[in-house]
A and B are shown apart, each in its own frame.
Chain A
């Protein structure tokens, strides 16, 4: 009896703690949403308000006028989509090579790939990368924003991990039926890996959508910029006198990834965890 009251107490404590922590973590986002619907005079009211009195959508209209968010949303979508596609194609192929084949140089190529895990080239080597891309004549084009990111060790290893869990007998059976390596890959391996590929797609999409330093450097014209850069333009251009508008722009930029994340979090978390562990 005593134990159960004790248990109940600790449950209630945990519950209360979790509500408080969830609120603290979400507070920046919640406040940004409510700010984005406030009239300027409400934004500057003292003490600061938590909830707007009316749904004032003027901020969104103004943000769209100051910065071409429509175009930037399109750019971000195109870039994130093609980076994701590229990473999935190269990753599944490389993962298949490492999971199902024994070949000369397997260890070395694996090691060469592994090293890149700790070398985010788009930041450490940002200058030479920029100079190379400039030489290609790619500055201000989608090529520069997409192609350098279409392969990664993370994806190759994640796929390898997953393919290794698929019973070898399936491959043997397919071979006996006369399937080639590639037929087995397309017709059996890929369909069986759909959930994993879906999770990897999400992780890649969020990563690409959230790129910042690279697009900042390779896009000169506004029509090539991404939403992340749009938000920077807004905050740099507005100073701190127009927080309602800045927050409207911020919400425009963060809603897509946040919604994806909310909708399919389980798949996401599963893939993320298997990408990191078991090295």
Chain B
């Protein structure tokens, strides 16, 4: 009996992920080689035409470029600010518990709600940010409907939403650095900045690596809610990332084959990310 127990224990998990993750992935491959007939009642085999269509479409390249830029900025800024903030929050000063409570709170808020909150703040008529801009620089900015401001807006909202997750991990990491290490560096006369970037940052590199992967995944996928609420991919497609384009093609324009091909491309990108992650973890023995 004991021989079969582990398999029985794993069955529920594997049934669910087979039906709802593996099968859709395989199905996506199949769909990507077909096109819906004009009335959507049959599928026409088109080979790799969906892929060639994508790779000859300037709009797709544009979404790709926008996504890369968006991911680069949000991931870098999130990691950088989270690391700095973690230093501040790691001190034994009064009120730390409250500061943590407040600064962690966006973690519990959904991307869509984050989008609503920032839409309001950036609203040209009633938004407080615009008022401040008016007062300081005499500028009236149409944040969500002008390029490049719409892009800047979704970046801001995304960083706000993503920051707590990384911060929580850095704080845990800092608390695990032995005091003796920091003390010896103090005796060596390392200043604050050096201590932070030359000693602590390298020590926490496994965490940083994990966070880069996680925030990258976030910026590829969870960004959907923020974009859908704030800009709907506009103006003129300047905030249409890969996931948003996929959504439009799949559900607004009913281009099943083309959307499936995009799923496959994203799947391959994530495959590469996963591979890099595995390779790195194998090298890293810090994880113990």
Contact = CB atoms under 8 A, between A and B. Distances in A.
Nearest to A253: B113
Given A43-B126, A116-B17, A262-B105, A18 B99 contact: yes
B169 A118 contact: no
Given A48-B126, A127-B256, A116 B21 contact: yes
Interface stretch (B55-63, B88-96, B195-203): B88-96
A97 interface: yes
A118 B21 CA distance: 11
Interface in B221-255: 221-222, 224-225, 228-229, 243, 246-247, 250-251
B221 A123 contact: yes
A127 B259 contact: yes
Interface in A104-156: 106, 109, 112-113, 115-121, 123-132, 147-153, 156
A33 to B, nearest CB: 11
A273 B95 contact: no
Contacts, number: 269
A235 B119 contact: yes
Contact of B24 (A15, A89, A128, A260): A128
Nearest to A105: B7
Interface in B1-58: 2-3, 5-7, 9-10, 12-17, 19-21, 23-25, 27-28, 31
B214 interface: yes
Contacts of B287: 277-279
Contact of B93 (A14, A106, A126, A269): A14
A262 B274 CA distance: 33
Tell me whether chain A's interface is mostly helix, strand or loop, or mixed.
helix
A248 to B, nearest CB: 11
A52 B97 CA distance: 29
Contacts of B72: none
Contacts of B27: 128, 131-132
Interface in B63-80: none
B245 to A, nearest CB: 12
A28 B160 contact: yes
A210 to B, nearest CB: 3
B104 A29 contact: no
Contacts of A37: none
A132 B120 contact: no
A118 B217 contact: yes
Nearest to B216: A118
B9 A94 contact: yes
Contacts of A112: 14
B224 A254 contact: no
Contact of A265 (B85, B88, B104, B207): B104
A216 to B, nearest CB: 8
A119 B25 contact: yes
A159 B221 CA distance: 25
Interface string A220-240: 000000001001100100001
B16 A231 contact: no
A153 B16 CA distance: 11
Given A103-B6, A243-B126, A123 B224 contact: yes
Contact of A14 (B7, B16, B91, B246): B91
A228 B13 contact: no
Contact of A228 (B94, B113, B246): B113
20 contacts: A17-B88, A21-B88, A28-B160, A31-B121, A47-B131, A94-B12, A119-B267, A121-B20, A123-B224, A127-B256, A151-B17, A153-B17, A211-B110, A250-B117, A253-B110, A262-B101, A262-B105, A273-B168, A276-B210, A276-B214
Given A119-B267, A231-B113, A253-B113, 4 more contacts: A22-B98, A150-B16, A257-B110, A277-B287
